[in-house]
Amino acid sequence: MAGVTFREVRKIYAGGIEAVKGVSFAVPDGAFCVLVGPSGCGKSTLLRMVAGVETVTAGEIRIGERVVNDIEPAERDIAMVFQNYALYPHMTVYNNMAYGLRNRGVPKPEIDRLVREAARILEITELLKRKPRELSGGQRQRVAMGRAIVRQPKAFLFDEPLSNLDAKLRVSMRVEIKKLQRQFGTTSIYVTHDQLEAMTLADMLVVMNAGRIEQIGAPLEVYERPATTFVATFIGAPPMNLLRLAAAELSGLLGASAAVPPEGGILGVRPEDLVLAPAGARSDGGLALPLTVETVERVGPESFVYGRLARGGDVIVRIPGAAAPSFGEQAVAIAPRHKLHVFSADGSRRINS
């Protein structure tokens, strides 16, 4: 087992497209690191560079102490779970799992023991004689996992492994992956565009956008203190409300002691931090936004109120239960001061602590 370290890693494709623009961070030994971002942000490219199926244009990737830039994937001692599982279609489940061990010259009885052990853990023992095409999506996913864990590699790499599963299976596999990773304690890097998956799985969350890292931190830390407006809107659903405010308005809200840039800034508040009060209500020193209700989405335990602000712009308020106001009603969305997020005018920096 080993950590994975990135130093100024860059990837420029043959067409001149820069997919990864100089990324540095370290995944500690045994950590579960999730790379999250919209499609095209470079997260998969980064993962594939760790696997060795994509070359590194510049910079350095280390697995443990070893720089792996020019090392064959076979020599890196990692395992990868692909989005489409990439099972060998002509081999049985048993052989799919045994393939990596055979390539490494593990003796036959040992292979048999390891494959059966992995199959037992994943509860796929009765599938060992089947071919991949005879399996359901969830079973294939398990076999792909089995192929990864059977070798006991230095690191697991996951490339959106759950995105081909239906919603219910995705949740149960998510729990299972986390459990397995805990059990093995193997360093894992997991790529996803699903922020919920990212939040629930990660020990360490890396939010990427357009080839750069926007923020690194523990999931809750990222949720509570997003470093940029991109992270603020990407992590959390529905996304954080953002309002562009002038400097005077901002200092009025945050108090005179706060350092507010002269060009103003962007105020962020999460839908779940807002409370809906009757029209005319006021907030003590916090935020109060008069609005007209436009749409309400009731999902059962909670409802999302979409409102049009009196000052212009839209806002989403999340309220518990289904007792939401109806269309056209006037209301005020209120949030206490300590729930507010303030960013620089270009959204690239967080201003309040």
The residues that touch another protein, with contacts defined as CB under 8 A, are 51-53, 72-74, 76, 78-80, 82-84, 86-90, 99-100, 103-104, 131, 133, 147, 151
Sheet with 187-192, strands from edge to edge, namely 78-81, 155-159, 187-192, 32-36, 204-209, 212-217
Q: Where are the beta strands (DSSP E) in 148-247?
A: 155-159, 187-192, 204-209, 212-217, 241-245
CB nearer to another protein: pick between 165 and 315: 165
Shortest reach from residue 101's CB to another protein, in Å: 9
Q: What is the DSSP code (8-state) at residue 165? A: S
* Residue closest to 311 by CA, chosen among 328, 329, 327, 288: 288
H helix intervals, 64-166: 93-103, 108-122, 137-149
CB nearer to another protein: pick between 42 and 100: 100
* Residue closest to 249 by CA, chosen among 289, 306, 282: 289
Beta-bridge partners for 320 = 302
H helix intervals, 52-130: 93-103, 108-122
* Residue closest to 141 by CA, chosen among 122, 125, 155, 128: 122
Q: Report the alpha-carbon distance of residue 26 to residue 136 in Å, rounded.
A: 36
CB nearer to another protein: pick between 88 and 175: 88
CB nearer to another protein: pick between 24 and 84: 84
Buried b / exposed e along 150-170 (16+ C-beta atoms within 10 A): bbebbbbbbbbbbebbeeeeb
Q: Report the alpha-carbon distance of residue 240 to residue 342 in Å, rounded.
A: 12
CB nearer to another protein: pick between 74 and 220: 74
Shortest reach from residue 133's CB to another protein, in Å: 7
Shortest reach from residue 148's CB to another protein, in Å: 9
* Residue closest to 311 by CA, chosen among 258, 255, 241: 241
Shortest reach from residue 92's CB to another protein, in Å: 10
CB nearer to another protein: pick between 63 and 335: 63
Shortest reach from residue 145's CB to another protein, in Å: 13
Shortest reach from residue 181's CB to another protein, in Å: 18
Beta-bridge partners for 265 = 245, 344
CB nearer to another protein: pick between 66 and 339: 66
Shortest reach from residue 81's CB to another protein, in Å: 9
CB nearer to another protein: pick between 52 and 307: 52
Shortest reach from residue 165's CB to another protein, in Å: 17
